[in-house]
Structure 1
Amino acid sequence: MTRSSERPLLFLDVDGPLIPFRSSAGHSEVAATSSTIIEEGNPLLARLDPGIGERLIALGCQVVWATTWMEEANEVVAPRIGLPKLPVLVWPDADVGGTPRGLHWKTRPMVEWAACRPFIWIDDEISAMDRLWVDAGHPGPSLLHQVDPAKGLEDSDFHALAGWLDAVTSG
C-alpha cells in the first residue's frame, strides 16, 4: 500500500481515547465536549499525551477526526499531540434518517465515508450493535477498537491496532 487513498482509514475520537476521563492521580472526571470551553480554561487538555500523535501517524493510516470536537480538534488537539490538520467527519443532522436502537450515531457516517476501504474506529462508545452493523454493511475489513475511557489509548491498544493492520495489509 503506497498511495494515501489505499491506506486504511483511522477514525479517531477525542474524549476517552485521547483525553482520558480519569486524571493521572486517579480521580474520575467527565471529559469536556462543549466547544465553549475547549480552548480557554479546559484543564482536561493537560491530559493529552504530546507523543501520541507520532504513534498514530506511525500506524500508516489516513487519520480522520470522528469526534464532536469537529474542526476544533484540528485547532486545539492536533497541535498539542503532534498531528497535522486532519480531515473531519461531518455528522448529519440528528433528524436525518433516524438511527436504529443501540446503534451509535457515528456508525453510519463512518461506514459511508469508508466506502470499501479498510478502517479502524477508535472510540470509547462502541457497542455490539455497531459491530453487527459494520459487519453487515461494510464490504472491507474493519476494526472497531473500544478504548477504556478512564485510561485512554495505551500501549496495549497500539499493539492491537498494529497487529490488525499487519494482518490486513499483508493479506
Structure 2
Amino acid sequence: MTRPVPVLFLDVDGPLLPFGGARPAPSSADADNPLLPRLDAGLGPRLLSLGCDLVWATTWQDEANEVVAPRLGLPALPVVRWPEDPDGTGPPGTPRGLHWKTPALAAWAGDRPFLWVDDEIGPVDRLWVEGVHPAPALLHRVDPRRGLTGGDLAVLAAFVGGLGAA
C-alpha cells in the first residue's frame, strides 16, 4: 500500500514575504505591494522538492497564484477557501486561542498527513490538531521578520522524510 502524499499548506505574508530586513527597491510591477521584492525565487524549487502537494493557505486566495507563484517558479496551486465566520469565534466548540485557519486546514487534509507553514501558529493549534487529526501533522511557525529559511526547510524535509520511515 502506498502512503498518501502529504499536503503542505503555505501562508504568504510572513513566511514567504518577510516583514523584516532591508527593503529591496520595488519595480513598477511591485507598486501594489512593496514587499514583493522580498520573495526569494529560490524557495519555489526547494518547496517543490519536498514531495508534498502544495496548497495556498492564505488570505491572498487566488491572487497567490497570480502574483506569488510565478515569482517563485511554482505552478498554480489549489487554494483553501475559508469558511464564513461573521463573529470570528470559529465553529461551535472551538477552543479559545485556536487560529481561525486551523479547522479548515485539518478538514482539507482529511486523512492525509500535513504540514502548515505560517507565522501565526500557536500551542492551541498544535494541541487541537494532535487531538482531532488522524494522521501526522507538523504545524511550523516561521519568524515573520525573516521568512522561511533554510533551517525551516530542513525541519519540513525531516518531517516528510520521517513519514516514509513510519
TM-score (norm 1): 0.86
8 Å contact from structure 2 (residues 30, 37) kept in 1: no
Report how far residue 62 of structure 1 moved. Answer: 0.0
1:135 and 2:130 correspond: yes
Q: Deviations over 1:60-86 (max 9, x none)?
A: 000000000000000000001110000
Q: Find the counterpart in structure 2 of residue 144 from structure 1.
A: 139
Summarize the alignment of residues 5-84 of structure 1 with structure 2, pairs less than 5 Å apart.
6-24=4-22, 40-84=31-75
2:13 and 2:43 map into 1 onto residues whose CA distance is: 14
8 Å contact from structure 1 (residues 19, 47) kept in 2: yes
2:122 and 2:33 map into 1 onto residues whose CA distance is: 29
What value does the CA root-mean-square deviation take over the aligned residues? 1.9
Letter of the 1:15 counterpart: D
> Given the alignment, which residue of 153, 159, 169 partners 2:164?
169
1:118 and 1:105 map into 2 onto residues whose CA distance is: 20
Report how far residue 39 of structure 1 moved. Answer: 6.2
Q: Find the counterpart in structure 2 of residue 30 from structure 1.
A: none
Structure 1 portions without partners, runs of 5+:
26-37
Secondary structure (helix, strand or coil) at the match of 2:35 reads helix
Letter of the 2:22 counterpart: S
Distance of aligned partners of 1:50 and 1:2 in 2 relative to their CA distance in 1, 3 Å threshold: farther
Letter of the 1:107 counterpart: T
2:33 and 2:100 map into 1 onto residues whose CA distance is: 26
Sequence identity (%) = 57
Structure 2 portions without partners, runs of 5+:
24-28
**Following superposition, which runs of at least 4 residues in structure 1 exceed 4 angstroms of deviation?**
none
1:151 and 1:90 map into 2 onto residues whose CA distance is: 27
2:107 and 2:131 map into 1 onto residues whose CA distance is: 13
Paired residues in the alignment total 157
TM-score (norm 2): 0.89
